[in-house]
Amino acid sequence: MKPQPLNEKERENLIAYLDGELTGKAARQVEAKLATDPSVRREAESLRKAWELLDYLPKVQASAEFTTKTMDRLAVQKSAATKSWLRWKPWVWAGGWAAAMLFLSFVGYSSMVRFLTPPNANPPQLVQETKPLELHALDVSDDIDFLHRLANPDDMELFLKDNRM
Amino acid sequence: MATIGETTGQLSLRDPDVRLMARVREDDPSAFQELVEKYHHRLINVLCHLVGNQEEAEDLAQEVFLRVYRSRKKYRARAKFSTWLFTIANNLALNSLRQRKRKPVVPLNVRDSGPLGPRPAEQLVRDPDYHPGGRLAREELADVIQRALDTLNERQRLAVLLNKFEEMNYAEIAKVMNLSTKAIKSLLSRARMNLRAALKDYIFMDGEIVPDVPEGQD
């Protein structure tokens, strides 16, 4: 049987196998292909050799003063951060003081109001208690004249009329 | 690679850089300098092959280290220190490359510029171990390989550099590039197919020709 060329997934697995990233069943499948198919062996060999050619790339070294330059730049940044904090420091303090004063003034004012106002100076609860009674009376009577007459103890006619009924 | 649920304590036992970073967090400047010295060559090597310019690579590396310092209080050891470092480098380098695409710059050849014109011959110091044939062949080959690397897109190139030079496994690269391990497997597969296609004429196969296979996509 003529060997089939590798498909994309098989090629991915072959490369992962060469990188030592393949284990288990997938690794065994690649090993079986390599053992039986010379074209797969050739492909693996060419991929390995192309990879090894990268060893010829020069190793780039940092310039001799790199560390010193980096540490200097760090020192500059630190000093800039400190200067910036020093510039803002008085404003931060002033803001803090202003906020504290505002809070204390509010607390003082609230305490004074509470202390100086006599108890029961404004009893809203009485109004709330009377209102439902009045409303109830109106609901029953449906007539304001009837209520006025009821409030008048001299108006005997009202009771007389009831007796007649 | 840090496994899920691994604590900072466990990681610091395995990764001395995590201990070093803990000292940086406590504002120890000597620890920070130690980290810079330990990683600057590795970082600049990867960045230089990624952006193709040493000066820009050094500027980026400097910015990476400064960001490490600025983020020191927020640092939590969830992975190896190098993974965190290269994650910052990845973000900065890809941003820089994107900006460069928007505002392309024409590089000025240093040798042809300046008041003296071409650089005087006496300034070209000759290497004492200079062997014309061998050196030229190696330099040419390095040039060819750099050009082959440049044919890859930025993500493929970074994945290749981290895999090849930093010996990171797929899971670590995935963490650095904020992708899934499966995506990295596919990305590296396409990158290696493209590299092989670009280097086809330089692969010696003992008389056999390099198999003609389709290139990987972007």
- Comparing C-alpha atoms, which of A57, A55, A60 is closest to residue B143? A57
Encode pLDDT of A104-124 as tens digits. Answer: 999 998 888 888 877 666 655
- Condensed to tens digits (0 to 9), the pLDDT of residues B191-202 reads 999 999 999 988
Chain B's closest residue to A49, CA to CA, is B203
Reported confidence tier of residue B91, pLDDT bands at 50, 70, 90 = very high
DSSP string, B37-60: HHHHHHHHHHHHHHHS-HHHHHHH
Report chain B's C-alpha Rg in angstroms.
Answer: 21
Q: Return the sign of the alpha-carbon dihedral for residues B185, B186, B189, B190.
A: negative
What DSSP character marks residue A141? H
Residues 139-158 of B with CB under 8 A from A: 141-142, 145-146, 149
CA distance A102 to chain B (A): 35
- A84: which 2 tokens? 């910036």
Q: Helix or strand or coil: residue A46?
A: helix
Whether residue B84 contacts residue B11, with contact meaning beta carbons closer than 8 Å, is answered with no
Domain ranges of chain A: 8-56, 124-164
The reply to whether B67 touches chain A by the CB within 8 Å rule is no
Question: Above pLDDT 90, what percent of chain B?
Answer: 52
Tracing tokens 């750099």 back to the chain, one arrives at B146
- Kindly give, in sequence order, each residue whose CB lies less than 8 Å from that of residue A17, ignoring residues fewer than 6 positions away: A26, A27, A30, A31
Contact yes or no for B170 and A21 at CB 8 A: yes
Residue A12's Cβ-count burial label (10 Å; 0-12, 13-18, 19+) is: buried
pLDDT at B114: 44
B216 pLDDT band, cuts 50/70/90, is low
Q: A60, A63, A72, A82: which to substitute to probe chain B, counting the most B Cβ within 10 Å? A: A60
* pLDDT mean over A34-41: 92
Length in residues, chain B: 218
**pLDDT surpasses 50 at B121:** no
In the chain, the amino acid numbered A81 is: A
pLDDT digits (tens, 9 = 90+) for B128-139: 454 555 665 888
Handedness of CA A71, A73, A74, A75 (dihedral sign): positive
At B124, the pLDDT band (50, 70, 90 cuts) reads very low
Q: Among partner residues B33, B69, B196, which is closest to A67 by beta-carbon distance?
A: B33
Closest residue to A67, CB basis, from B36, B146, B202: B36
For domain B153-218, give the CATH number. Answer: 1.10.10
Mean pLDDT throughout B128-155?
79
Identity of the residue in A53, A61, A73 whose CB atom sits nearest the CB atom of B202: A53
Q: A17 to chain B nearest CA, in Å? A: 11
How much is the pLDDT for A120?
64
Predicted confidence (pLDDT) per residue in B58-80, tens digit: 999 999 999 999 988 888 877 78
If you classify domain B1-105 with CATH, what class do you get?
mainly alpha
pLDDT band for position A135 (50/70/90)? low
Cα distance from A25 to chain B (closest Cα, Å)?
17
Q: Give the pLDDT confidence of B23-56 residue by residue, as tens digits.
A: 998 888 899 999 999 999 999 999 999 998 899 9
C-alpha to C-alpha distance for B80 and B71, rounded to whole angstroms? 16
> Residue A72 belongs to what H/E stretch?
helix A66-116
The type of residue at A148 is H
Across chain A, what does the average pLDDT equal?
Answer: 81
Please judge whether A16 and B41 are an interchain contact, meaning their C-beta atoms are less than 8 angstroms apart: no
Q: Apex CA B114: angle with CA B111 and CA B119, to 5°? A: 35
**Phi, psi dihedrals of residue B106, rounded to the nearest 5°:** -95, 115
Structure tokens that stand for B6 in this block: 């691994």
